Amino acid sequence: EVQLVESGGGLIQPGGSLRLSCAASGFTVSGSYMSWVRQAPGKGLEWVSVIYMGGSTDHADSVKGRFTISRDNSKNTLYLQMNSLRVEDTAVYYCARILAWGMDVWGQGTTVSVSS
């Protein structure tokens, strides 16, 4: 079964760091485009980051320089390293597989709360 399971969310103070994980099963992250998407409480979806099959990455302007997407092919796991966290980064973070330019498989989401 094709599946994504996120973990690593939690409560963190502004300025802190957190690393989210997304374990894949049923397919390989190295053979796919993978993305992180977030959703602030009561708000819409916001694209955050993408990693391509070749390993190159891109990030939304709102997180550029603070967040880094990466993957561990041996663990078939996607990561999002989040540094210098801000209150406005509070959201449910989803990982998703991109197939044919659509995000066809999503995880259940992990909640990040940034508050003092």
Partner 1 sequence: QSALTQPASVSGSPGQSITISCTGTSSDVGSYNLVSWYQQHPGKAPKLMIYEVTKRPSGVSDRFSGSKSDNTASLTISGLQAEDEADYYCCSYAGTRTWVFGGGTKLVVL
What is the binding site for partner 1 (CB under 8 A)?
Answer: 35, 37, 44-47, 50, 52, 56, 58, 60-62, 94, 96, 99-104, 106-109
11 contact partners, CB below 8 Å, separation of at least 6: 113, 115
Contact 95, 36 (CB under 8 A): yes
- The token pair that represents 103 in the structure block: 């995000």
In whole angstroms, the minimum distance from the beta carbon of 63 to partner 1 comes to: 11
- C-alpha distances in angstroms, 97 versus 62, 81, 86, 106? 21, 18, 26, 7
Closer Cβ to partner 1, 102 or 116, answer by number: 102
Closer Cβ to partner 1, 15 or 97, answer by number: 97
Closer Cβ to partner 1, 14 or 51, answer by number: 51
In whole angstroms, the minimum distance from the beta carbon of 16 to partner 1 comes to: 25
In whole angstroms, the minimum distance from the beta carbon of 54 to partner 1 comes to: 12
107 vs 65: CA distance, rounded Å = 25
